Each structure stands twice: as C-alpha cells, then as structure tokens.
Amino acid sequence: MSLRSWFEKAFPQEQVKQARAERREVPGLEAIHWTGSSPGLDIVRNISSTGMYLVTRERWREGEINPIRLVYPELTDESAEKQVTIETRTVRWGEDGMGLSFVLPDCMDLWLWNAERIEPEDILSEFRLSRALAFLRRICPSATQELKLLFREGLGNMRVPNAIAIAHRAEIMLAAEPSFENMHAPASVVLRIVKEGSWAEDSATQHLWAGILVTACTMTGDDEANLPYIDLLAEMATVDTRLYVEACSKAPKVFATNGAVSASPLMCTADEMIHLTGTKDLSKIDRNILQLSILGLLEPREKAKYFSFAQTANLTPTALGLELYARCQGHRGAPFEFYATQQSNPSIPEEKPKPEDLQPS
C-alpha cells in the first residue's frame, strides 16, 4: 500500500479538510446558545471555516447538534436577515469548553480569512454571504460560478449586503411553501434579480425583490414569466417603493365576477405624502408618482403640474400594479385570490422613514 493510500484510508477527506482549516482568535466574537443547564452567552476562543472552540461550562454530548448564534458587543441589528445562527456538532471537550464543528449545507463555502486582521463583523458578514450563496446555488445550480463571481468580485462592497438581504428574505418566504426544497429558478431570472436587486438599499424594496425571486421558483425550474416584472422593479427607487406599497396595500379593492381585480381611487394629502416618503419636496414626490404612472403601476394623473399643500395626489394602482404587488409578496396564484384574503387581514406594514431622514423643503 502506498503512503498516499494509507493516508487517505487513515484520514477520511472530511477529517483532512478539518485538519487543514486555519483557526484564528477573533477578539470580541461571542456565541449565544439555548441548551444545557445554563443557556447564555459564551466567548468564542477561536474559529475556522469548519468549527470553533467555545469557552463554556457546558459539556454537550459528543455528536450532539445544537444551534449557536454568533454575536459581538457592538451588534445592534436584531432583524432576522442580519442574524447568524448555525447548527454545531460537539466533537470534543476541553478543560474550559468544547470544540464544535459547523453543520453546514453541502454547497455552503466559507472564506473566513481574506485579510490579516479580521473583526467579528467580518465573520458574521462571511457567514451571511455564504448562506445567501448556498441558497441561490441550491435553487439555481447552473448559475453557481456566475453567482460566486458576482458576490465575491462583481457587485462591490456596497451592493453585496443588499443582495444578501434579498436572498435571506426569499429563503424564509420559500421555506413556508410545501416541497420548497425541490423548487428551482432559471439562471436568467436569478442573475437578473441579484444584479438589479442589489441596488436596493431599503428593506421595503428588498422585500419586493425577494417575493419576485420566490415566485420564480417552480418544480420545473424553467419559468421566466417574472422577467417583465423585474424590468419594472429595476426602475423603482426608495420613494417609488414607499408610494407603490402604500397604493397597493391601502387602496380598496373591487372584485369582478370574472376574477379581475381593480382598485377604487386612493387620494392622499400633501402631509400624508411627506410622512410616507420622508421628503418635504413636493415636486420630487410628484416626479415619483409620475414615474410610477409611466411604468403603468399607478393610474395616469389628470393634471399637468405637481400638487400643492392644498391638493391631493392620486395613488390608485392599476391592474398591472396590483398583479406585480401580489407576486412581490410571494403569491403564485391569481391576484383575485391574494387580495380576497387581504381584505380581512392587514397587509405587511411599510417601512416608515426615520425623522432624521426627512429632507428640508
């Protein structure tokens, strides 16, 4: 038997991978766990792409799997898509803690050490990126290499977090559907959503992109029907989204006997527009309303000039606007079914602007 054959037999590939994984100390990195006799917060002594050593009084049984949430003291965002919760398997005990290996999806690859100095936020960012990539690669295996290039090199540091947020929201939405693990989407749709949606910086617009990604997933994986809707979303800025979501969620719906859905007029005052959009610039608001009208998402306006404080604005959505909105909420069926349900249930609240975001008139 050759030395190489003996080595491969004595040390299976997974063990070789773990042995080669570089471990580093990342001061400030901590972990929250919910199991054992004293669940709480413990220090991560060191971490690698395959596992970590947790300084703790806990002694979980070898092979036991438990969830761990990685955190650090300065972390303030508690939204679901910003959290990093991973499954871990106990591999050994130490005098002051336990060695844990990560239980990750097959297609999830971690690149933890891309620089000499790594901060806790860098670790969490890499986990979020890898998880988003794993989800997108699962629903679209044919786009694996292109997705890697986009996330690692093509999008840039400013757009990657937006694409990650969209993927995480879509993963949560899709997981609520039966047989979600067998659903796939075409590369043409997935890549367009990543490229175009990554420009969306606000959570409301990211939610719309996530819904479009979800409704593009089917059992056959070849449905490109969402491509025209992607073209529409790509034209919408933050203020456009706030106006559009308000229109589709608040306008009273009219249901025809043939299954068509339309909206009754929705009129908003200048003060309501300012509160909704976060800007006091009425001419800017009017341009956004005009933009949505040109896209065919809102009914055409009747006047030539922008409204004043003494006037109201028409935010009535069109049939196309209502159909797009339903898809953006992850609805696969006819718009009639979606809005009939919404009549008795409140819609998802839109993102409210912060006082400091208000622009001077």
Domain membership flag for residue 5: no
The DSSP element (H or E) to which 93 belongs, if any, is strand 84-93
**Beta carbons of 122 and 78 less than 8 angstroms apart:** no
Does one domain contain both 223 and 165?
yes
**Partners of 329 in beta bridges:** none
Which of 130, 144, 237 shows the shortest CA–CA distance to 191? Answer: 144
**Partners of 44 in beta bridges:** 54
**Partners of 71 in beta bridges:** 30
Does one domain contain both 218 and 143?
yes
Does one domain contain both 124 and 209?
yes
Domain membership flag for residue 146: yes
Question: Which residue range is the domain that position 202 belongs to?
Answer: 120-233
Which position has the higher pLDDT, 78 or 280? 280
pLDDT at 322 over 70: yes
**Beta carbons of 357 and 278 less than 8 angstroms apart:** yes
Does one domain contain both 218 and 255?
no
Q: Into how many domains does the chain fold?
A: 3
Does one domain contain both 254 and 159?
no
Condensed to tens digits (0 to 9), the pLDDT of residues 45-96 reads 999 888 999 999 888 999 999 999 999 888 876 666 667 888 999 999 999 9
Q: Which two tokens stand for residue 284?
A: 């800017």
Q: Which two tokens stand for residue 275?
A: 């509160």
Domain membership flag for residue 341: yes
Does one domain contain both 303 and 335?
yes
Mean of pLDDT values over 327-350: 75
Looking at residue 361, what is its pLDDT?
36
Mean of pLDDT over the chain: 84
Domain boundary among 70, 103, 136: 103
Mean of pLDDT values over 195-214: 95
Which of 244, 248, 216 shows the shortest CA–CA distance to 342? Answer: 248
Domain boundary among 103, 134, 156: 103
Looking at residue 109, what is its pLDDT?
74
pLDDT at 308 over 80: no
- Cα–Cα distance between 297 and 315 in angstroms, integer? 10
pLDDT at 115 over 60: no
pLDDT at 4 over 80: no
Looking at residue 18, what is its pLDDT?
43
pLDDT at 346 over 50: no
Domain membership flag for residue 240: no
Does one domain contain both 16 and 84?
yes
Looking at residue 79, what is its pLDDT?
64
Domain membership flag for residue 22: yes
Q: Which two tokens stand for residue 274?
A: 């300012």
Which of 109-113, 143-147, 261-265, 311-315 has the lowest average pLDDT? 109-113
Rg of the chain over CA atoms, in angstroms? 24
pLDDT at 348 over 70: no
Which position has the higher pLDDT, 175 or 357? 175
- Cα–Cα distance between 136 and 132 in angstroms, integer? 6
